[in-house]
Structure formats: structure tokens, C-alpha cells
């Protein structure tokens, strides 16, 4: 026997036992599932190749970890076994072939298919239809008594419905936490400064092992049934799918995605269908469980030491993997936000090779306790940007380096700032920061801003990349020949674009203020600023107190405006735009407008006006246009298909106008103003 093989087996067993302890006892796993699966696969391979190394205390000979302290133990009358895994089409072909060989059949086998929920396996015991015990799987033979906790889960019936159920019925299933509930739980924990959960399964495990059941009751847990265990004093149907349907008729929840298919091709098609649908599901799944549907066939196939021969879990590509954080770089976004980006040792996760992942902000780095050189767990789900979700502190090298945010913008060298109460760090460069230039110009040219028809995103990017635009005012100095020589342009298109740019010079002060891209200055705020100050130079001179006199402007927005107007480069850019010919009609000081102080809500589909036109005309009359109905709403305009907002307005006895009545009121009010 090779001494090195024996040493590797011992090391694998020790590492797997440590992971089992962290997961089953501490509820604190520190490696992704895929890494654990690879350890188990390697250990099984070595034990198969070297039978003399097999041992009854090997992790391959049992299902899970030890029962957690704090709960009484429950012995499972019928062991709760794990499933063998398939990671490829070839693995599934091998499983199907083995089933056919064991059954001495060359025909297509009927399989029951179920999504493999990423949760915690549990056993529920019903006696005469009443729930008397709930238990975790534990090590497959002995679990923990969590009866008080499972009784708090709404999808678990305390008494079965209907009739015909066995005198004793053990139901097995998966308790899990839906994605929305998990996100809400983590947001609440983060807001309270508490530790957040790594993933929904970790959250479900922690929730079930609360010694105080009232804590479990506060967690958004659900359960789906997938099998039965011990059954006494009654008969069940002859197929697995029919058993699930029977459980459902007794009030137990089963997965709506479950299906029966014929043969290997049916299994592979179902796998692909659910893989494509995976991200749209309300819960996490990490694969598909395929079971021979005929119960008589299941009994003939039997079990190996730790798993049934008649079932297999076809795993999806891992969404979490382990790698090394090699460096951190800082990217600057359109609004000047500095985002730390982890440069990773390339790793295959979520179906692609990942070498970069977001670290979000300084708070997230502190929460993770991340350092350059750390071993980290990276998660990529569907099209979501890969992110570092955990640091494996036990693997931290001695030379790991702290991650330090730069004091100057990496692009324009302007100062960076982090305002009190904000999680992000920003560049103060405003209109002069090259990283923000493209997005700023796109915003400046957009329909609700300067409305430059034909100046699309790709054209802006090309102009900036080729050095044609370095500042907003450069738009108004573009030359026909240079524009015509651009890709996919030509003389006619260039003429049309320059004509649209020239036309955009005639604008309004609210549009111009909105176009500047000042933080949190949207259309409504820009309109309020223009009406209040009338002249842009008066706005330049306004201090924080003067700005807060404007309707709906509080200290935060006033601070953003002040900061923008205090930057010499921003004022120089505005002067350059005015010098280039951008202008707007003078605003006459407004007296009391017909709808001053009134709040209006638009709902449903409008046919006589566009939504933006209706909003603009209301604002021109002094109204505030809100997005939701409240006791402060003065009246509501209800178009076709108006729903919940109309209902709430009716409940609050708020005046409601149809579109024709709205048009008549507008005409009347505009005639007065």
C-alpha cells in the first residue's frame, strides 16, 4: 500500500469531519458545497481503489454530522440517507444504465423529477393525523428533536386534512428560506449591526436550531415534502409521484415543478429546463433529484451503504467556489462612486470562469474582514455580478495586506469623500472626471434633459474614445466633417445630428439643471429650483440655508447642490455651455399658482396625454405629482386599467377624475394662470 495514499485518505477524512462539524453542529460552514463534494468524491475514489483503507468511521459511511447539543435526540426508524451525485450527462447515463442492469430491463424507466431544494432535510411524524414530532436528519440514524420549531412554520400542517392517512405517517421534506425572505432577513440584520447569513440554506439551518422557538417563528421558512419514511396502519400508492399527490391532498406542500418523465432523455430535458429557469424561481435549488417512480422497482433496487440505488441528484454548476483574492482595484462610476473590485485567481463558478468580483464598499470589506491574499468564497448566480461572500479566515497567510481606499480619484486625481451616513466613497471631480464623462454626456443628451435626438450611447462612447468630446460644451463645437467620418455616420446623418444639437440649445432652466447630473436633482427638484431662484446665478450664490427654503429640498439634497456649485471646474463647465449658445427663456416671478400646495397622483393608462406631458402640465400649474396615494393626496387622475391606487383613493374618499374630466380641469386652470 502506498504510504502517500494512506496519508491523503487520513487528511481527507479529517478535513471532511471538520466541515461536517462546522455545518451540522456550529451552523457555520466555511467552504462552498462544490468544494465539499470534491473532497467526498476524491475520498470515495481512493477507498474504492484501495479497499484495505476502508473504515466504518469514514465520512463516506455515514450521512452527516453529529446531533447538535441543546436538543434531545431522535432515532430514525428508517434511516434518512443521502443521495449519490451526478455532475455530468455521462454520470446520468451511467446511473440509468445501472438501474436498467439491476432491473434486467432494456426499456425506458419512468422517473419522478423534483428540484433539489437547497435547505435542511427534516422528518415529520404524524400519529392519527396529528403532528407529534419534527426532527432533523442529523447523521441519518439520529437527529435532533425540533418539534417546537417546525410547529411555527406555516406550510407544515399541525393536523392532516381529509381522511385515509395511515395511523402513523413519517413525512420527509426540505425546510428552506425563499430568496425574498432571505434578503429581507439579511437587510434587517445589517441594519441592526448584526451578523448576516452567507446564503439561504445557512439561514434556514440557523433558524431551525434556535433553542427559542419564538425566534424560529420570526423567520420566513417554508417546507416541501419529497418522500415518506416509516408508515404503519395504512397503505400508500404504488408510485412515488402518486404518493406525493396523496401527501398534497392531506395538506402537505409539494413542489409545483415536480414532474414524471420517461427514460434518460426525459431526465436530461427536465434538467436543462430547470437549469434555465433556476434564477427565476423564488427559492434556491442546486440540482435535480431523479427517482425511479415505481415503488416495487425501488424495493428491488435497494440501497448501498449510504444511498438508494434508485435515486440520484444531478447537480447544477456550482454557484459558489473557493479561490484567492490576489489584489483590489478601484473603479469609478457615473456618479463618482468608487467600487472596490477583487482581482481573483481565476475560478470556474456559475458556468463561467471568474477572475473579478465586486466588494461593494468599505463597509462590506470591513464586514468580510477581507485582506489581499485571503482565500475567499465567491458566488455567481445567473447574470448577477460575481461577489465575495465570505473569507476563509483559517487560511489567511501571514503576509495578507489590508485593503485601503485611495485618498484621490484613480482617474482624475480629485479628492474623494465619504459623507456621514453613506456607505460609498465618491470622487469629487464632477464634470471634469473622465470616468464619469461618458455617462454624464449620455444623461445630458437624454430626452428628459437636453433632448438631443440621435445622440445615442454608442455614439457618445465613440466620440469620447476618439477625443472629440472632453467636456459637455464640446458637443456644441463638433465639426461636420469629423462627425461624418465616424463609423456608421456619413454626411446626412452627421447633418441631422448637428441640427439636433443646435436645436437643443433652446431649452428651459429646469431641463438644463436636470441635465447637469447633480446628485439627487431629478426633474421635480430641478423645476422647484428654477421656480424658486429664477436665475441660475442666484442658484450659484445660494448657501445651504437658502436651498432648504425650496419646497421638498432637505439638508442632504441641499448639501449635494452646494458641493456641486462650490467646485470651480463645474461652474467653468456651465459658463462654457452658456458661451456655446445654450439658453432658456427668462422665468417670470410666479405668484400663487392655481395648484400650489396640491398633490396629484396619476394612475392607469392615459390616452389623451402622455404621462410625462400630464405631469409637466400639472407641475407648471404648481402641483406636486406623487407616485402613491396617501391622506395628503388632493385628487387622483384615473386612466384605463387603474388598480390599487384608484382603490385606495376611493377608500380614503379622495376626489377622482377620469381623463376627460382631467383635460377639462387642465384647460380651465391654464386659462386662469
Residue positions annotated with a catalytic role: 116
Residues facing 123 on adjacent strands:
135, 172
DSSP-derived secondary structure for 343-412: EEEEEEETTEEEEEEE--SHHHHHHHT-EET-EEEEE--TTSPPEEEEE-GGG--TT-EE----SB-TTT
Q: Cα(248)–Cα(126) distance, rounded to whole angstroms?
A: 14
Classify each residue of 234-262 as buried b or exposed e, where b means 16 or more C-beta atoms within 10 Å of its C-beta. Answer: eebeebbbebbebbbebbbbbbebbbebe
Q: Cα(338)–Cα(362) distance, rounded to whole angstroms?
A: 10
Around Cβ 658, how many Cβ atoms within 10 Å? 13
Which residues lie below 8 Å from residue 137, measured CB to CB, with a gap of 6+?
Answer: 63, 64, 76, 80, 120, 121, 122, 123, 143
Q: Cα(36)–Cα(32) distance, rounded to whole angstroms?
A: 7
Q: Cα(131)–Cα(175) distance, rounded to whole angstroms?
A: 16
Run of H or E including 662: helix 659-672
Rounded-to-10 torsion of CA 84, 89, 91, 93: 110
Q: How many residues make up the chain in this entry? A: 673
Q: What cell numbers appear for 623 in the block?
A: 402641483
Q: Cα(185)–Cα(218) distance, rounded to whole angstroms?
A: 10
Q: CA distances (Å), 122 to each of 147, 159, 478, in order? A: 10, 17, 69
Q: What cell numbers appear for 441 in the block?
A: 454626456
Which residues lie below 8 Å from residue 592, measured CB to CB, with a gap of 6+?
Answer: 622
Around Cβ 73, how many Cβ atoms within 10 Å? 14
Of 561, 585, 566, 572, nearest to 473 by C-alpha is: 572
Q: What cell numbers appear for 572 in the block?
A: 467653468
Q: CA distances (Å), 482 to each of 259, 574, 577, in order? A: 62, 25, 21
Q: CA distances (Å), 313 to each of 63, 115, 524, in order? A: 15, 9, 55
β-pairing verdict for 320-332 and 311-315: unpaired
Q: Where are the alpha helices (DSSP H) in 280-349?
A: 295-301
Are residues 346 and 353 in contact, defined by beta-carbon separation less than 8 angstroms?
yes
Amino acid at each position: 500500500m502506498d504510504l502517500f495514499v494512506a496519508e491523503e485518505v487520513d487528511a481527507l477524512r479529517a478535513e471532511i469531519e471538520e466541515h461536517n462539524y462546522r455545518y451540522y453542529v456550529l451552523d457555520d460552514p466555511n467552504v462552498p458545497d462544490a468544494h465539499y463534494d470534491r473532497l467526498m468524491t476524491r475520498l470515495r475514489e481512493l477507498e474504492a481503489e484501495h479497499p484495505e483503507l476502508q473504515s466504518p468511521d469514514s465520512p463516506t459511511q455515514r450521512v452527516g454530522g453529529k446531533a447538535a447539543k441543546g436538543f434531545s435526540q431522535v432515532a430514525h426508524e428508517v434511516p434518512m440517507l443521502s443521495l449519490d451525485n451526478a455532475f455530468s450527462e455521462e454520470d446520468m447515463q451511467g446511473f440509468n444504465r445501472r438501474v436498467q442492469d439491476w432491473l434486467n430491463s432494456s426499456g425506458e424507466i419512468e422517473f419522478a423529477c423534483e428540484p433539489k431544494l437547497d435547505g435542511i432535510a427534516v422528518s415529520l411524524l404524524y400519529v392519527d393525523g396529528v403532528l407529534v414530532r419534527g426532527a432533523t436528519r442529523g447523521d441519518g440514524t439520529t437527529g435532533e428533536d425540533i418539534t417546537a420549531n417546525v410547529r411555527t412554520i406555516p406550510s407544515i400542517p399541525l393536523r392532516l386534512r381529509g381522511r385515509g392517512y395511515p395511523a402513523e405517517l413519517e413525512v420527509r421534506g426540505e425546510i428552506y428560506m425563499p430568496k425574498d425572505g432571505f434578503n429581507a432577513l439579511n437587510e434587517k440584520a445589517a441594519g441592526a449591526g448584526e451578523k448576516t447569513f452567507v446564503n439561504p440554506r445557512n439561514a434556514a439551518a440557523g433558524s431551525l436550531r434556535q433553542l427559542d422557538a419564538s425566534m424560529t417563528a420570526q423567520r420566513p421558512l417554508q417546507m416541501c415534502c419529497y418522500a415518506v419514511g416509516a408508515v404503519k396502519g395504512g397503505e400508500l400508492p404504488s408510485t412515488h409521484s402518486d404518493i406525493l399527490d396523496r401527501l398534497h391532498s392531506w395538506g402537505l406542500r409539494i413542489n409545483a415543478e415536480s414532474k414524471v418523465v420517461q427514460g434518460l432523455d426525459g431526465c436530461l430535458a427536465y434538467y436543462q429546463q430547470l437549469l434555465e429557469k433556476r434564477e427565476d424561481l423564488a427559492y434556491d435549488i442546486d440540482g435535480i433529484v431523479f427517482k425511479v417512480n415505481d415503488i416495487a422497482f425501488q424495493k428491488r433496487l435497494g440501497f448501498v451503504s449510504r444511498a438508494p440505488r434508485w435515486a440520484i441528484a444531478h447537480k447544477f454548476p456550482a454557484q459558489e467556489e473557493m479561490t484567492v483574492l490576489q489584489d483590489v482595484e478601484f473603479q469609478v462610476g457615473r456618479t463618482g462612486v468608487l467600487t472596490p473590485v477583487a482581482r481573483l485567481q481565476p475560478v470556474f463558478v456559475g458556468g463561467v470562469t471568474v477572475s473579478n468580483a465586486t466588494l461593494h464598499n468599505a463597509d462590506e470589506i470591513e464586514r468580510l474582514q477581507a485582506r489581499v491574499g485571503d482565500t475567499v468564497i465567491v458566488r455567481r448566480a445567473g447574470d448577477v455580478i460575481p461577489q465575495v461572500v465570505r473569507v476563509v479566515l483559517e487560511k489567511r497567510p501571514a503576509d495578507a495586506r489590508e485593503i485601503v481606499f485611495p485618498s484621490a480619484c484613480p482617474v482624475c486625481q480629485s479628492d474623494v469623500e465619504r459623507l456621514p451616513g453613506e456607505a460609498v466613497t465618491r470622487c469629487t471631480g464632477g464634470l471634469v472626471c473622465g470616468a464619469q464623462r461618458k455617462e454624464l454626456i449620455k444623461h445630458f443628451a437624454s430626452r428628459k434633459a437636453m433632448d438631443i435626438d440621435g445622440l445615442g450611447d454608442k455614439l457618445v462612447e465613440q466620440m469620447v474614445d476618439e477625443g472629440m468630446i472632453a467636456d459637455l460644451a464640446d458637443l456644441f463645437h463638433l465639426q461636420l466633417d469629423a462627425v461624418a467620418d465616424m463609423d456608421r455616420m456619413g454626411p446626412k446623418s452627421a447633418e441631422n445630428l448637428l441640427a439636433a444639437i443646435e436645436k437643443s440649445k433652446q431649452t428651459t432652466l429646469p431641463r438644463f439643471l436636470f441635465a447637469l447630473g447633480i446628485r439627487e436633482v431629478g426633474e421635480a427638484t430641478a423645476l422647484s429650483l428654477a421656480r424658486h431662484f429664477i436665475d441660475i446665478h442666484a442658484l450659484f450664490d445660494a448657501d445651504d440655508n437658502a436651498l432648504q427654503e425650496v419646497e421638498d429640498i432637505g439638508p442632504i439634497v441641499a448639501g449635494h447642490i452646494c458641493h456641486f456649485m462650490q467646485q470651480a471646474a463645474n461652474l467653468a463647465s456651465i459658463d462654457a455651455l452658456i458661451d456655446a449658445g445654450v439658453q432658456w427663456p427668462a422665468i417670470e416671478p410666479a405668484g400663487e399658482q392655481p395648484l400650489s400646495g396640491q398633490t396629484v397622483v396619476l394612475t392607469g393608462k392615459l390616452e389623451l396625454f402622455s404621462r410625462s406631458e400630464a405631469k409637466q402640465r400639472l407641475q407648471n400649474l404648481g402641483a406636486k405629482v406623487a407616485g402613491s396615494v396617501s391622506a395628503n393626496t388632493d385628487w387622483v387622475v384615473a386612466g384605463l386599467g387603474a388598480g390599487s391606487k384608484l382603490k385606495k383613493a376611493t377608500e380614503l374618499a379622495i376626489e377622482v377624475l377620469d381623463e376627460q374630466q382631467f383635460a377639462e380641469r387642465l384647460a380651465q386652470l391654464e386659462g386662469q394662470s
